[in-house]
A = this chain, B = another copy of it.
Amino acid sequence: MTQKADKLFTNAIVLTMDGKLNQYDPGTVAVKGDSIIAVGFESEIKKEYSADEIIDCGGRVLMPGLVNAHTHVPMTLLRGLADDLRLDVWLMGYMLPVEREFVSPEFVRLGTSLACAEQIRSGVTTFNDMYYFEDDIAQATADAGMRAVCGQSVMKYPAPDAAAFEDSIAYAREFIKKWKGHPLIVPAIAPHAPYSTTPEILRTCADIAREFDVPLHIHISETAFEVENMRNEQGMPVVPYIKKQGVLEAKVIAAHCVHIDVGEIKTLQHVNAGISHNPSSNLKLASGFAPVQKMLDNGLNVGIGTDGPASNNDLDMFEEVRLASFVAKASSNDPTVVPAATALLMATRMGAQALHIGHLTGSLEPGKRADLIIVDTAPVHNSPRFRRDPQNAYAQLVFASKSTDVTDVMVNGKWLMRNHELLTLNETELLKQARELAQKIDTFLIEREQSVLSKLIALGGSMEQESFEVQVKVRVTEPDQLVQKMKRPEVEITAYKHYHQYDDYFLFDDPSQGRLRFREDNLINAKGEVENVRSRLTLLGQQREGEFGHDVLLSRSRFLAPAIHTSRFYREYFKPKQEISVEKNRLRWHIRYKNTEFFINLDEVKAPQMGHFLEIKSRTWSRKDADRKAELASELLALLGVGDAEAVTQDLIEILTTK
């Protein structure tokens, strides 16, 4: 008496990708409900199981669906928007501005559906995402029938779905509660990267990941620049830094890990972190060569990811698997490392383990969900077939198969594609909507293309300042008295400097372009001599985008760049309509008051003659923190005896241009 299955896959070259890399040819897989119940040689399985539906695989390969271990699926909609650029120009000049303008729940649903269509076509059954409005991404993914780990992004910068990181954290909490336990979706929290978060954000995210027992998805050590900065600022590389913030107490999925050393590899292995290696993205952005062989040697679970389609520019895991093998060989100067079977394992069972869902998917084994694909390995670009060595089967798939050779895809026991036809998505309609959106993005960018900001960014090295500026400014009539008051015991002076500042303001026809300030800072020593000179460019927004209380300014559009060229260069490059020069003497204190740091500037504006001004300043990524600092700044004003002085709400350049 045979047992009853729902479906029997027969006449297949079955590559199980299980612990022994068992192959069955001809092999059979039995599926019941959402799960695999038997795998083996056809002659044996057919004796034990019967089913109403028999799927004849026609001698093609039957294998587990591929696991895309790191991506940002909605960015299908930004594919090919900007290429061959340095990371900062690409990110700050194109991706971030477009995302701020366009990313919405509707955007991410459309982009996710497109990504599902592309991934199903290319044999991906599971992906690991990180983006905004992750609730809508999860919904679109579940609607398409795919399996995914969906990580809600948290960053210190304002995001399309959050004005401040506190909003993202609150969103993530609700998102995780809603999706936890879903048959296809594993919700996760995704603090974007160490450099784009704060220790507080990392700790909070780790706490949430542990509270709900969900993965924590994060970018780690993608570029050498990131590691260098971390060493300079924290005196340690990236992995020890995130460990210090408690991140490694969660189920971590670390994307990239290009620039990590053996010590960091061992640390990650010790906490069973999963890695996503993203070869196309690392090559295209010139990020470097990840130490894949070393990670594997040290027992890490290394998956393979496409990264976002805006930096790849597709979601083709067959390409990534091939590149994972190629790049490991080339970068280690050894053609025997990461052989075909290993590369394919990374994209299946090991990839699922890296996402902490190895118990659900990644191999054809009884008890796992029925996530499987059929691949035709007999087209002209993949013929003939050699059978001398079991490795030949993996070599065919890894070195010569194309994603378009995938003919059928099943996830969780449900068909998503039969004979190249998608069953859960309306591709034509999705493509139409994508075309319409692309036209809007084209129009938006063509308009911005000539902006000062984009030109500033095109120079490289620019960076956005903290989102919230706390600033109080008053006219001062008796500066010498104020200098005396700085010696009060409540004010702890941690640094004091004297500058002569020469500012050139560039003004443009279109005031919405903002103003560009070229500042030369001459540092003056105790003898009154110039000790040091530095220059930098600052793009000031035309007006504050909002105010919190009377002292806190939101200045989201403030960009800084080192001015490595002369003011003449910038004059010729930006072609300002008008130019205004200001010369001033600045006494600058870095102080600590009630355990909080502030800058205090006492300015004497000499040319044009405008008298003295006192500024108390601080910047932060957190709105809550900004409110607290504004209160302290008011206290400081009183303490310095200028609590009643005339408040000035304009910048110098505003005063000068509105006269």
Contact = CB atoms under 8 A, between A and B. Distances in A.
A117 interface: yes
Nearest to A318: B402
A442 B390 CA distance: 12
Contacts of A280: 326
A335 interface: yes
A28 interface: no
Contacts of A325: 84, 284
Interface in A57-101: 76-77, 79-87, 90
A392 interface: yes
A106 to B, nearest CB: 15
Contacts of A391: 83-84
Interface in A363-389: 378, 380-389
Contacts of A332: 286
Interface in A521-546: none
A391 B282 CA distance: 21
Contact of A80 (B118, B312, B319, B395): B395
A632 interface: no
Interface in A382-423: 382-389, 391-392, 395-396, 399-400, 402-404
Contacts of A327: 283
Contacts of A563: none
A380 B430 contact: yes
B404 A335 contact: no
Contact of A431 (B383, B399, B427): B383
A383 B435 contact: yes
Interface in A146-181: none
Contact of A434 (B82, B117, B283, B383): B383
Contact of A335 (B284, B392, B396, B435): B284
Interface string A315-331: 11001000101110110
A111 to B, nearest CB: 10
Contacts of A387: 442
A435 B335 CA distance: 28
A336 B85 contact: yes
Contacts of A82: 389
A73 B441 CA distance: 44
Given A335-B87, A380-B118, A380-B427, A313 B395 contact: yes
Interface centre among A280, A333, A388, A431 (most CB of B within 10 A): A388
B85 A314 contact: no
A77 B384 contact: yes
A45 interface: no
A285 interface: yes
A399 B114 contact: no
B286 A335 contact: yes
A289 interface: yes
A297 interface: no
Give the 6 A-B residue pairs with the shortest CB-CB distance, closest first.
A384-B438, A84-B339, A283-B326, A313-B399, A384-B434, A286-B335
27 contacts: A79-B384, A80-B384, A80-B385, A80-B392, A83-B340, A84-B335, A84-B395, A87-B335, A283-B326, A283-B330, A284-B326, A284-B399, A285-B329, A285-B335, A286-B330, A286-B335, A312-B400, A314-B381, A314-B399, A323-B326, A380-B430, A380-B431, A383-B431, A384-B438, A386-B441, A388-B442, A402-B403
